[in-house]
Amino acid sequence: MKYSSNKDVNSFARHLVVDGWRFKRGKKHGKLVAPGGRGIVVIPSTPGKKRALRELESLVKRIKTGN
């Protein structure tokens, strides 16, 4: 499944799904729901910023640590 047109964001999202996150497709952006419903991360289908992956990683880290 393709989560994003950016290869790095797509790869990161694929690893999260393997780790138990659920993917929900939206009209413009997909969403990854953390295991146990602890949080939601929006996946940009066509990220416009070079730092999109870093921001995504930061959000996931915050959800995993509970901050």
Q: What is the pLDDT of residue 44?
A: 85
Whole-number pLDDT of residue 26: 86
Distance CA 65, CA 6 (A): 26
**Whole-prediction pTM value?**
0.87
Q: What percent of the chain has pLDDT over 70?
A: 99
Confidence at residue 16, expressed as pLDDT on a 0 to 100 scale: 96
Task: Count Cα neighbours of 62 within 13 Å in the Cβ-side half-sphere.
Answer: 10
DSSP string computed for 13-48: HHHHHHTTPEEE--SS-EEEE-GGG--EEEEPSS--
The order of strands in the sheet holding 30-33 is 22-24, 30-33, 40-43
pLDDT at 40 over 80: yes
pLDDT, residue 1, reads 86
